Amino acid sequence: MQLTIYGANTIKEAILSGKLQKTVYVSEKKWKNGLIDKDFLNLIKAKNIKIEIKNDNIFIKEFAKEAFIKGIAATAYYNEKRYEELFENKDKQLPFYLILDEVTDPQNLGSIIRTANCSGISGIIVPKSNSIFITSSVAQVSQGALFYVDVVRVTNIARVIDDLKKRGVWVIGMSNDSKDNIYSMDYNIPLAIVIGSEGKGLRRLTISKCEKILKIPMVGNVNSLNASISFAVMAYEVLRQRTYNNKTIKK
């Protein structure tokens, strides 16, 4: 699919990942004010990418006001993969999948994708209905990380959980209603975690399919975190256990 992207960081990652089309568009105002980073310009030139300066009104008409705030836009390819492709040609690292159960906020999805790339997620699974997918806003919030993370859509989350369990993947749901917290388990196993929607959390059927439900401990007055922060806390506990547990830091 073709995707309009904007912002220097997102476009930079599209270039580096080989997903950018041939032209970068810059608003007249941004170009005249010399607001484009020289290193970024050098990268564009090195990759033989054309720069086209557009009148501000035309830029807004073609790419919308959100893109005009950044003053730079482009078109990139996003290769949507199939669910089965998540299990092809994987390295020797333990699998670590993320299932999003009807997350609808593009800000949350973009942040989740960015964290997923940083924390080593093997792939993100979202339902085809009642869920946000890849949009220009998601790409911007992810800061280009979406070009390195596989996000796949499936018809039925419950069936996917059953399939993952057959593949030897341990499926854990996140809910504040659990008595067990995320620090009570060893994550050195093939793993998938499930994060629920922003307002309702995990659906009842999804909870029934998970092998374990865990919560993030809360000690303040607010008793919940949003989806992207919950995922980040959990993802880095998995990364800590798998990579840094029982290792002495050299001074």
Q: Which pLDDT does position 248 carry in this prediction?
A: 47
Helix (H) or strand (E) holding 9: helix 8-16
Helix (H) or strand (E) holding 236: helix 227-239
**Are the C-beta atoms of residues 216 and 181 closer than 8 Å to each other?**
yes
Give the span between the Cα atoms of 62 and 23, in whole angstroms: 14
Q: Which domains does the chain have, with CATH numbers?
A: 2-77 (3.30.1330.30), 83-244 (3.40.1280.10)
Q: Which pLDDT does position 30 carry in this prediction?
A: 87
Q: Which pLDDT does position 158 carry in this prediction?
A: 96
Q: Which pLDDT does position 197 carry in this prediction?
A: 84
pTM: 0.91
Q: Which pLDDT does position 251 carry in this prediction?
A: 41
* Residue pLDDT tens, the chain, 251 long: 899 999 999 999 999 999 998 899 999 988 988 778 889 999 999 999 999 999 999 999 999 888 999 999 999 999 999 999 999 866 668 999 999 998 999 999 999 999 999 999 999 999 999 899 999 999 999 999 999 999 999 999 999 999 999 999 999 999 988 999 999 999 999 999 999 987 788 999 999 999 999 999 988 877 778 899 999 999 999 999 999 876 544 44
Q: Which pLDDT does position 247 carry in this prediction?
A: 55
Give the span between the Cα atoms of 66 and 190, in whole angstroms: 40
Instruction: Name the region of 138 (left: φ>0; alpha: ψ -120 to 50; beta: rest).
Output: alpha
